[in-house]
């Protein structure tokens, strides 16, 4: 008698797809970031921050699997910090927590009320308060790291946005120290995961997530909000266009650029709050170069090579003779 296939629950089917169909594109890249950047270490207590969107929900599921099969002990807590979601958005988040069996704690705050009561940069204020709330809650839980759901595409978009909008070259790091909470780090485990693969995971498993929960766009739970009109949406479109008519390697090269910064070929940079200019050691480098050239035959070889490869120069001094004396 043939053995019957085990009927999987919805959660089991979704989890299995993560370890089979999406293992190369999502799970492997997730663990690559964790290992390469040492994002999770023995004894860590990690607060996985869930906004309710596709990225953070996927990250929570990945952490659930990682925690279950980790080779070393670490603790993980799942946080939904509710800044003031409307009922539709909040219920959608709860439905997804149920579907994915995420043991999350929901903490309600009044962040949206405060941010929307001001006309002075409400988006900046909201983002600042949300990040502060995450730190504060995580610290009260005894966590030493908070995990955010930024992915590969967020990284390259942020890099380009800083260049085009702020006139600076800086990227989104895979981990960094908190400026206001001691012993607290931010980690981004989806650093190598492409957004297109997250979207495909969502579609294949017939999942729906909130798009944007901002009070300015309250219908976001049911709309296909791509952030129309925002600088990030424009940057995303620009990268897509560049990939089409400039080079298919544009995304990869923007990402790799942050690995390959040559400080010898930039006008200036900042480190530790101090500004540096290429002029600071320009003369010193020139002297060292001249000393190195004087003690070698590099210059002679360069001249000999040029003479061998090129015909003799033809020199026209017509304009020098006509206008040379008039410039004095």
245 lies in a domain?
no
pTM of the predicted protein model: 0.86
Residue 235: the pLDDT is: 93
Q: What is the pLDDT of residues 260-299, one digit of tens each?
A: 999 999 999 999 889 999 999 999 999 999 999 999 999 9
Q: Does residue 252 sit within a domain?
A: no
201 has pLDDT over 70: yes
Tell me: do 276 and 130 sit in the same domain: no
- For residue 271, list its beta bridge partners: 274
Residue 58: which residues within 8 A CB-CB, separation 6 or more?
Answer: 26, 149, 190, 198, 201, 202
Of 3-12, 191-200, 306-315, give the lowest mean pLDDT range.
3-12
Measure the CA–CA gap between 16 and 14, rounded to whole angstroms. 5
The DSSP symbol for 101 reads: T
pLDDT in tens, 55-108: 999 999 999 999 999 999 999 999 999 998 989 999 999 999 999 999 999 999
Residue span of the structural domain in which 128 resides: 10-150+174-226
pLDDT at 212 (0 to 100): 67
Do 20 and 87 lie in one domain? The reply is yes
Going by pLDDT thresholds of 50, 70 and 90, the confidence category of residue 327 is low
**Average pLDDT, integer, range 116-143:** 84
Give the pLDDT score at 231.
85
185 and 121, same domain (yes or no): yes
Higher pLDDT, 173 or 216: 173
pLDDT tens per residue, range 31-46: 999 999 999 999 999 9
pLDDT confidence band for 5 (50 / 70 / 90): low
123 and 213 both lie in a single domain: yes
Nearest to 142 by CA among 75, 61, 80: 75
Are 301 and 198 found together in one domain? no
Same domain membership, residue 24 and residue 78: yes
Please report the pLDDT score of residue 232 as a whole number.
87
Residue 316 banded pLDDT, cuts 50, 70, 90: very high
Q: Does 216 lie in the same domain as 81?
A: yes
- When the pLDDT of each residue in the chain is averaged and rounded to a whole number, the result is 90
In a domain, 207, yes or no: yes
Is residue 140 domain-shared with residue 286, that is, in the same domain? Answer: no
- Is there a single domain that holds both residue 81 and residue 205? yes
Q: What is the pLDDT of residue 149?
A: 96
Cβ-in-10-Å burial (0-12, 13-18, 19+) of 202 comes to middle
User: What is the per-residue pLDDT for 256?
Assistant: 95
């Amino acid at each position: 008698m043939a053995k019957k296939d085990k009927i999987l629950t919805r959660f089991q089917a979704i989890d299995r797809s993560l370890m089979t169909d999406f293992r190369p594109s999502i799970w492997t890249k997730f663990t690559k970031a964790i290992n390469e950047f040492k994002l999770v270490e023995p004894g860590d207590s990690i607060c996985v921050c869930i906004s309710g969107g596709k990225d953070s929900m996927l990250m929570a599921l990945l952490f659930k699997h990682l925690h279950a099969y980790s080779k070393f002990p670490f603790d993980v807590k799942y946080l939904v910090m509710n800044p003031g979601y409307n009922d539709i958005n909040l219920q959608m988040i709860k439905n997804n927590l149920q579907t994915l069996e995420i043991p999350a704690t929901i903490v309600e705050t009044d962040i949206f009320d405060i941010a929307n009561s001001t006309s002075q940069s409400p988006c900046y204020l909201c983002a600042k308060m949300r990040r502060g709330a995450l730190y504060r809650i995580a610290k009260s839980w005894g966590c030493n790291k908070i995990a955010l759901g930024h992915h590969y595409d967020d990284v390259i978009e942020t890099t380009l946005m800083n260049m085009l909008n702020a006139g600076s070259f800086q990227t989104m790091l895979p981990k960094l120290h908190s400026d206001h909470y001691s012993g607290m780090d931010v980690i981004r485990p989806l650093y190598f995961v492409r957004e297109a693969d997250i979207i495909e995971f969502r579609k294949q498993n017939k999942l729906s997530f909130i798009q944007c929960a901002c009070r300015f766009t309250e219908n976001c739970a049911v709309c296909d909000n791509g952030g129309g009109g925002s600088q990030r949406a424009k940057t995303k479109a620009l990268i897509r266009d560049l990939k089409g008519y400039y080079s298919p390697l544009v995304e990869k090269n923007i990402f790799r650029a942050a690995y390959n910064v040559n400080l010898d070929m930039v006008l200036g940079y900042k480190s530790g709050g101090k500004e540096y200019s290429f002029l600071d050691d320009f003369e010193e480098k020139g002297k060292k170069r001249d000393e190195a050239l004087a003690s070698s035959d590099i210059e002679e070889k360069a001249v000999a090579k040029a003479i061998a490869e090129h015909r003799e120069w033809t020199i026209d001094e017509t304009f020098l003779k006509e206008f040379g004396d008039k410039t004095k």
